[in-house]
Amino acid sequence: MLVDLALADLSRAAVSTREALSGAVLSGDLLRADSIASVIDRETGMRVTLISPDGGILLDTRVDPDSMEGHRTRTEVISALKSGSGTAVRSSSTLAADMLYAASTMESNGALVAVVRVSIPFRHLEGLMSGIGIRTAVLAAVAVALSAILAWIYSRSVARQVRRLADCFSRMKAGDFGVRAGPSRITELDILAGGFNEAAATTGKLVDDLSERTSQFHAILESAAGPIAVLDGTGRFVYANAAFRALGAVDSMAGCDYREVISDPELMTALGAAMGSRGSGCGRIAEGSRTWAYSFTGVSGQDQIVFSLADITEMANLAATKRDFAVNVAHELRTPLTAIKGFAETLAERAEGEDAKFVETILRNTERLISLVRDVQTLAQLENPVSEPEVRPVDLNSLIATILELFRPAASKKGLDLLFEPAEVAPVAGDSFRLEQVLVNLLDNAVKYTDKGAVKISLREEEGMAAVEISDTGQGIPAGEIPRLCERFYVVDKSRSRSLGGTGLGLAIVKHILMLHGGSLEIKSETGRGSVFTIRLPLFRDSRSS
């Protein structure tokens, strides 16, 4: 019976070991798998063997795999190949000792990858059985002694039973959840002992489950490629996996203050921000030649922070390459386009008839190309991580009034009313030049795509933000197109946009400028009834007055 229980526990340990090794084995990293297996052997005393489908030994924590014979004919391996798991009790020819074995198969997409086997010496079980026999004999002797005492004095018997129950409580408090209180033939004490036994059994099971899960989580975190750490409220490391420890100055960070073991200033700043926030957040740092994205979050109910890093070096380099390419191409195109425009304007002064139409077409498309190049350069500048707006107080009433004058001729030519409702709104925090680009792009679209009626601008303050609303009576936008309006080069009516000289980058530029200012863009539209574009910007807060 005891052997069966031991084999059942060993089978569960084989499954846990298989899960701990699966990531490394399936990725072909046997060196990391061997490291994980060694940790399991050291922490649990179980020998771990990884067997290939043909019986060859891939790794073993006790013996050199090259010196071992094939294991395909081992009883536990045969059973595992048939049913997925197997156990055996036999003598090990390799270790020359009686052993208990449990094996479990590891599969990928239905195909057998390997067999994971764990084993412990049988002498451990024999020692346990011997200990049980000794304890049983001791308990029997105590029972006889108690019976003799009960024959002489009942009161002392009751006192002894109470002391034994108190001892059981003390042992459980010390971590011995296998302790059980025996019957006392005293009804009240038996009820108390029964409740104690149930509590001890339940607590023991919970502790075993927690220990198993902790071992699994520890193995998973240690094998994770991304650095992960847990810090307490004082800034000391509670846990740091292998990838995170590689970033520090010591092999073991547990109990160390992050300011003592982290040398990179940017990483230290990020950890300081996480400790200061105690909530959730994310950001990006550069550590040596690598670029990392970091995130942190507080542990619910604990004064702790979980901090993790992800290596985004390749992604950052690719983004920088794309950005530099766009800037360089746009820069190289501006000179020949300017030359083409100049020569075309010269030809336009002399061209007549059909030639004049051709030159006009060249000029119109050259202007469109120049606008496109300019917008590409602007977008690339805005997407640069080091791009930061020069934040100053900006009076939106004055800025809007100035920009409106630029569009009055175009609006008058189309017979459109250009209306503005100023309001008493505090200055916003922003870059005047960039905010002017936002308003120019939105007003340009409103005037271009409105054939009759009016374009109206209103200003208001709401919940610590300034809201600028630009509405028109144009053709409107289909509801299904609105989510894609801020995508690069996306236009709803391609033929009309081309004829009006649109580049498809205006709203993308607007979106990025607002993001840099901590603002937002809201679009509402109905086909045939016009559109409403609402931008929201944070109000200026002078740090000196706070």
Distance, CA of 426 to CA of 311 (rounded, Å): 42
pLDDT range class, residue 50, cuts 50, 70, 90: very high
Q: Is the pLDDT of residue 542 over 70?
A: no
Q: Is the pLDDT of residue 208 over 70?
A: yes
Domains contained in the chain, CATH given: 2-124 (3.30.450.20), 224-311 (3.30.450.20), 315-383 (1.10.287), 392-545 (3.30.565.10)
pLDDT range class, residue 139, cuts 50, 70, 90: low
- Summarised one tens digit per residue, pLDDT across range 157-180 is 666 777 777 787 787 777 777 778
Distance, CA of 91 to CA of 86 (rounded, Å): 16
Distance, CA of 248 to CA of 271 (rounded, Å): 13
Q: What is the pLDDT of residue 487?
A: 61
Q: Is the pLDDT of residue 337 over 80?
A: no
Taking Cα atoms as reference points, which of 328, 339, 387 lies closest to residue 362? 339
* Length reported for the chain: 546
- Summarised one tens digit per residue, pLDDT across range 390-417 is 778 888 888 888 888 888 888 888 888 8
Strand partners, 59: 50
**What spatial distance separates the first Cα and last Cα of the chain, rounded to whole Å?**
75
Q: What is the pLDDT of residue 192?
A: 74
pLDDT range class, residue 440, cuts 50, 70, 90: confident
pLDDT range class, residue 496, cuts 50, 70, 90: very low
Strand partners, 471: 456, 532
pTM of the model: 0.41
Burial class (CB within 10 angstroms; exposed 0-12, middle 13-18, buried 19+) of 135? exposed
- Summarised one tens digit per residue, pLDDT across range 108-132 is 888 899 999 999 887 766 555 555 5
Taking Cα atoms as reference points, which of 242, 202, 206 lies closest to residue 225? 242
- Summarised one tens digit per residue, pLDDT across range 212-269 is 777 776 777 676 678 888 888 888 888 888 888 887 767 788 888 888 888 888 888 8
- Summarised one tens digit per residue, pLDDT across range 340-396 is 767 677 777 777 777 777 777 776 667 666 666 666 666 666 666 555 667 788 888
Q: In what order do the strands lie in the sheet with 85-92?
A: 57-60, 47-51, 111-121, 97-108, 85-92
